[in-house]
Chains A and B, each alone.
Chain A
Amino acid sequence: METIESDVVIVGAGGAGLRAAIALAEADPGLRVSLLSKVYPMRSHTCAAEGGAAGVAGADDSMDLHFNDTVGGGDWLCDQDAVDFFINEAPKELTRLDHWGCPWSRDKDGRVSVRPFGGMKIKRTWYAADKTGFHLLHTLFQTSLQFESIRRFDEVFTTDLLVVDGKVQGCCAVEMRSGEMKQFLAPAVILCTGGGGRIFPFTTNGAIKTGDGMALAYRAGVPLKDMEFVQYHPTGLPATGILLTEGCRGEGGVLRNKDGYRYLQDYGMGPETPLGETVLKTMELGPRDRLSQAFWHEQQKGNTVPTKWGDCVLLDMTHLGEKKIHERLPFVQELAHAYASVDIVKEAVPIRPVVHYMMGGIHTDINAATPLPGLFAAGECACVSINGANRLGSNSLTELLVFGKRAAESAAEYVRSAAPKTDRAAADQQASAAEARVRALFERTEGAETMTAIRNAMTHTMETGAGIYRDEAMLTDTVNTLADLRSRRSGIALRDKSKVFNTEFTQLLELDNMLDVAQAVAVSALARKESRGSHQRLDYVERNDDTYLKHSMAHYQGEDAPRIDYLDVVITKSRPGVRDYSGAKS
């Protein structure tokens, strides 16, 4: 087995991984960085983000205001020290992106423009038309090309972390082109593997978002934090899950039910704002969880529009006019036209809530360090937590930058100070075991189980039991189904025996990861007997700060369901209050 030695291994080359790599290269060109990714970096799902990245910019804004929006939006489950750090670093990081060439949209005088975003009281979302994530990713990728210390390994699928004597020593990964297992030795590993929305059937997440890094850390003994918090985005196209950015509503788009009525006013987000005028944090600019929940209620009342792809409501932008749509929302126009055959200048588009983002993830502290020495994590796969029970739109692109950099700094410091000697023999032994395990997947004999059936059963049970609204019975059912699916997965055989770019093989590894992550979500959701942010229980409708102002921590227990315990939330200055999104007060 080929062995590649470096000082820091980064798994994942999306926004977080690339930012970490650049930070390492800038901090110390002598550090050897290996950057692993299962797809070419520019294919990472950061490219799909449309709306923008939040950071205090204008004179009318302040760090305190961004802090309050984030903590309130997160229903007080955010760690406030982490939020403070994040808010303060945010404008600096977005400024760096400007220096690196990000084509930020501009005001007439040449300054960077900011746009309104759901749940944010002040305009502070920097954007590059409606392709912010795309530009952010390509800017970072292209910038990274100038550093010789960054060695890229593209299309390399990480299967295991190497852990010797309670310390990370690197990881193992299969090179997809050759099918060969490679051993990457390093005293520090940063996981930047993104989210896992693919555990649900309707999602804005691309095929690669299968929670791999979460599963890697979890199996290595690092708890997964706040996994029950899954964000639905209120405006996805029903057939494909393709997202129509929140920018649609930021620019003045409105939501209507089958009677053309702007129903959000019935769910505590009114009063109705005049057409074309937006009032921040009100009506269509309320937070995502509230909007998705309002959809569910409208559906129960029979007020939704039935379509071939299920019930929908209507996103109406016709009053914005062709010019504004063309200028501000060109990508939305293109997507709606291509994938829903709707011209948004002339008609409203049918949309529905779709799974979008996982607030939970690998437990890290404010330094992006996990409890496992040498292991760091950043981006959507990590949970610091600045997002609490509900992420505010446009905070996560900024989070990739702030904590990608932070993870790099922590890893560099760890490598320099601790410089733990690699126990080569023990690491070799683990790598060989990992290789043998992977080989064994090819030897399974064909039986009754198929990958497609198990995957479909998983996504179906997540949607029905752990979706927008949950209760004890539904969740118990889902937890049982997942346990059953996990026990059956070893019966899936591979028909494709080739070593070259075998995507049946990588899909099997991904399904394994998704089943573990899905179980952590469902079991954490069952244990949290309250409603908070995106986690809404029909049987416990109130938030319960006495018992649950805490992070849930899911600990891996092999074939059994995870063990859940709790960790206190860090509160520095904002005591839990009421999340108020009615326009009456603000």
Chain B
Amino acid sequence: MSQRQITFEILRYDPETESEPRFQAYCVPCEEEWVVLDALNYIKDNLDGTLSYRWSCHMAVCGSCGMMINGEPMLSCKAFVRDFPNGGSIRVEPLTHFPIERDLVVVMDDFMDKLQAVKPYVIPKKKRTVEDGTYKQTPKQLHQYQQYSMCINCMLCYAACPQYALAPDFIGPAALALTHRYNLDSRDHGRPQRQEVVAAHEGVWECSFVGACSEVCPKDVDPAGAIQQMKIASTVDWYLEHLMPWRRK
């Protein structure tokens, strides 16, 4: 069994007793197959029960465990210790751009509000009943939006986004990708309603297209691509409305 002693420098902060965050170091005997989350669990179970962080699935699907690991936003259950340089320590901090609630736990209120704001649900043309049966949707139509439906709400893209850092009102990558997901779904007719949110100042136009969101996304959602496509769509809308009003549906 190959074990490696690795030092983890972990941000600690308890708002009840501390005025600002500090770092605490823990030396952990790591197995070859371990991810950073395994090391955190080792610390919690064996070294220091007071460490707080979120996790559940340990399989990169619940989206709980996003953290800054050596400065990069990552899922700690998918960050293998073997991928970090030998001999160095690993620094673990809460996701940046969010207020810290405690230790590695961030306040998620803003993100949750933004998800809700984009109306992420099917808005049908006409209400369908069970007797009407399922919609027909070809594999091609499914493919149109499928990628954008893979978001696990891990918020890594918000931690990577320079624009969200500057303008916290910006709706941000994941919520915009989700908007796009419903806009592209053949069962949905809610784009005009969502368009108000998207075309507003805090919507797509805020994005400076750095593309950092798509780079860090663990699920290949490509929010940057979604935002780009929506900008084009919004531009087309504008032209239709202002230059060729008779063409508007």
Contact = CB atoms under 8 A, between A and B. Distances in A.
A458 interface: no
Contacts of B138: 106, 108-110
A544 interface: no
A96 B120 CA distance: 16
A463 to B, nearest CB: 18
Contact of B56 (A111, A134, A207, A498): A207
A569 to B, nearest CB: 31
B119 interface: yes
Given A240-B59, A498-B17, A498-B102, A40 B45 contact: no
Given A109-B136, A142-B115, 7 more contacts: A39-B56, A99-B187, A100-B122, A143-B121, A145-B121, A240-B59, A242-B59
**Chain A interface secondary structure, helix, strand, loop or mixed?**
loop
Nearest to A144: B121
Contact of A106 (B56, B142, B178): B142
B188 interface: yes
B137 A42 contact: no
B14 A47 contact: no
A373 interface: no
Nearest to A240: B58
A151 to B, nearest CB: 13
B134 interface: yes
A338 B33 CA distance: 9
Contact of A103 (B102, B108, B136, B145): B145
B50 A98 contact: no
Interface in B76-101: 78, 80, 101
Nearest to A48: B57
Contact of B133 (A95, A134, A138, A495): A95
A496 B50 contact: yes
A103 B149 CA distance: 8
21 contacts: A45-B57, A48-B62, A100-B122, A101-B185, A105-B142, A106-B139, A108-B139, A134-B61, A135-B149, A145-B119, A146-B119, A146-B121, A206-B58, A206-B62, A207-B56, A452-B46, A495-B50, A500-B15, A502-B52, A503-B52, A504-B49
Contacts of B153: 40, 42
A42 B63 CA distance: 8
Nearest to B53: A503
Contacts of A501: 52, 101-103, 105
B152 A134 contact: yes
B122 A145 contact: no
B62 A99 contact: no
A207 B120 contact: no
A14 B174 CA distance: 21
Contact of B60 (A40, A146, A338, A503): A338
Q: Which 9 residue pairs spanning A and B have beta carbons closest together?
A: A110-B136, A206-B56, A496-B50, A501-B102, A101-B122, A98-B134, A142-B120, A452-B45, A206-B57
A509 interface: no
B135 interface: yes
B121 A95 contact: no
Contacts of A438: none
Interface of A: 39-40, 42-45, 47-48, 92, 95-96, 98-101, 103-112, 131, 134-135, 138, 142-143, 145-146, 154, 177, 206-208, 239-240, 242-243, 308, 335, 338-339, 341, 451-452, 494-496, 498-504
Contacts of A106: 137-139, 142
A42 to B, nearest CB: 5
Interface in B1-33: 1, 14-17, 33
Contacts of B150: 131
A42 B152 contact: yes
B192 to A, nearest CB: 16
Nearest to A207: B56
Interface in B50-76: 50, 52-64
Contact of A101 (B102, B116, B121, B152): B121
A492 to B, nearest CB: 10
- Most chain A CB within 10 A, of B1, B136, B141, B188, is at B136
Contacts of A44: 62
B130 interface: yes
A501 B55 CA distance: 13
B124 interface: yes
B163 to A, nearest CB: 24
A95 B150 CA distance: 21
